[in-house]
Chain A
């Protein structure tokens, strides 16, 4: 393959290869020596970076897929159509990477299909497993028009376009179920999870914060796509998503405050502990700062300000998920867990694979081109007249 790459990308190619090499070594150790050989997990600390980041955070970061799809197809916000395709792509890739991460983390990846045949409806994890499986399938169908278009298969593409609305609604339902159920996973450990993070409202908090993370990822990835490939998205669309992000973050903050108020944990907020530091990192730079940034109209309308607010939101989201699923258990477990280099290497390799596949897809598939956008929207019942043609980049 002769891919013309500017010099800057070649540096990133080297980085990519290095992360893959480290990931490969870690993978060999993991699958020959078992989880104990590759990770710092133990009986007292059974869930670590792979569960917390690769799986639980990964699913949340991919929440933009259902959010934007619902906005465009269910709520007819056609202005968002230009960001829909890259967002669906990110979500689809995200879920695939979550599944790969899961294959590393579970002890018996060869039995990963077992929940299909012997499910336990009382298990939140069973619900998550089924929803992730079905939703990844939904995302595949939502993404497939890109592939079919490139292959020139007009027939199958038209069939899929016809069922887009039910498909999107199914995706929203499945996402609502499993984004919140990831929070339900921790309802059963009130005596183990540190007081900042255990709450009966975990399902709702997880759901709302996932929507925020999804919106932030749309802004983040649009910005990166622009910097890497020059695909400029209409800034007013991103600013609108920034406004939605602001509303969602404020709702989340109010829910957090209400939750702390109901549980009366104010006295714990200034104890000199590691948890206190992690908590304030999550709340101040990760929640308060983006709210302030996005409230200021001038910052929200500036590409850079929006980008910084999105990055803050994503960092706050990651800290929250890691705190709930891993660091919040350090105190009760009595052991100090820090991931091994191999756990970190696998995680980095997965993330860089995501970036790589995204770049390849953008290069070879019509992700940022919309020659048929109009007819596609018409097919799902959105009349031509009200369709904002200006929102489309000139092809």
Chain B
């Protein structure tokens, strides 16, 4: 069995060279030069804040909201950890975009037959036994690819060895149930715009708490409504019968 894979991004090692972003464009056949924000033609971007360079890309959640909200199941969490997209299923409701806690999926707004676009952890390359293009292109090993549990151990060791360099937190280890992209940083993650209010429970549980009640609503609701109809109907029938009887008794008397 394949062990779940992950990407470990060590922001302290990133020099902002854009090699990952350009390699990503090439590997995925995306047009254009480096971009400022994630878009349908940029699966990853390198951003800068106060001389700190960091990447944005799909976090490949262990319990992806995109996969859980999609009405047609167009997203799939693969055994390797990559969250991939099946364009032939997608109807373009954009619920995945509305629901993603990281604001990752992008849409081809200008196209007549648009698709959702996002990082696939280079799933095509993974299947060929290669590693994601960004990890391969990174000259400083700021982005590395490997088994998720192995990378978490490595990240812990780095924090332990250099506690003054790192914030004592592996972003993605537990966020919203954990992700397959793990990030180490020298500054608090929220200053770089990573949401810090996600909690540790998978977000799809929130929806499921409501949706799981549906079968009982159908069964008990249906039975109850039918019962109400039957009781009222029967009582009216009896009332009707009684009045008829009284009528005939009256007739007999006269």
Contact = CB atoms under 8 A, between A and B. Distances in A.
Interface string B213-244: 01001100110011011001100110110010
Nearest to A130: B71
B114 A118 contact: no
B250 interface: no
Contacts of A106: 91-93
Nearest to B221: A173
Interface stretch (B22-30, B47-55, B204-212): B204-212
A34 interface: yes
A139 B232 CA distance: 24
A31 interface: yes
B89 A118 contact: yes
A237 B75 CA distance: 50
A192 interface: yes
Interface in A31-78: 31-37, 41-44, 46-47, 70, 73-76
A227 B66 CA distance: 48
Given A34-B111, A169-B226, A173-B225, A46 B97 contact: yes
B18 to A, nearest CB: 20
Contacts of B93: 105-107, 125
Contact of A115 (B71, B98, B208, B217): B71
Contacts of A382: 233, 236
A32 B112 CA distance: 7
Number of chain B interface residues as a range: 35 or more
Contacts of A333: 103
A152 to B, nearest CB: 30
Given A190-B206, A191-B101, A203-B210, A122 B68 contact: yes
Interface string B86-127: 000111111101110101011111111111000000000000
A125 B95 contact: yes
A55 B187 CA distance: 43
A124 B110 contact: no
Nearest to A125: B71
Contacts of B139: none
A34 B114 contact: yes
Contacts of A385: 239-240, 243
Contacts of B214: 127, 177, 181
A180 B217 CA distance: 11
Interface stretch (B143-151, B160-168, B195-203): B195-203
B91 A169 contact: no
Contacts of B185: none
Contacts of B37: 43
Nearest to B206: A187
B107 A181 contact: no
B71 A383 contact: no
Contacts of B94: 46-47, 107
Contacts of A203: 210
A122 B207 contact: yes
Contacts of A41: 109
Given A106-B91, A119-B72, A386-B239, A124 B210 contact: yes
B210 A108 contact: no
Contact of B98 (A35, A46, A127): A46
Contacts of B106: 43
Interface in A146-184: 165, 169-170, 172-173, 176-177, 180-181, 184
A122 B211 contact: yes
Given A114-B72, A125-B95, A184-B210, A108 B225 contact: no
Contact of A177 (B65, B114, B197, B217): B217
A94 B113 CA distance: 27
Interface in B164-199: 195, 197-198
Interface of B: 37-40, 65, 67-73, 89-95, 97-99, 101, 103, 105-115, 195, 197-198, 203-204, 206-211, 214, 217-218, 221-222, 225-226, 228-229, 232-233, 236-237, 239-240, 243
24 contacts: A34-B114, A43-B38, A43-B39, A43-B106, A46-B107, A70-B225, A74-B225, A75-B228, A106-B92, A107-B93, A107-B114, A108-B91, A115-B91, A125-B69, A125-B70, A125-B95, A176-B217, A177-B218, A184-B211, A187-B206, A189-B99, A203-B210, A382-B236, A383-B240
Ranked 6 nearest A-B pairs via Cβ: A107-B92, A36-B109, A126-B71, A120-B73, A46-B97, A46-B94
Given A46-B107, A124-B211, 11 more contacts: A32-B112, A35-B107, A46-B98, A107-B93, A109-B92, A173-B217, A176-B217, A188-B68, A191-B198, A200-B206, A385-B239
Interface of A: 31-37, 41-44, 46-47, 70, 73-76, 105-109, 111-112, 114-115, 118-129, 165, 169-170, 172-173, 176-177, 180-181, 184-185, 187-192, 200, 203, 329, 333, 381-386
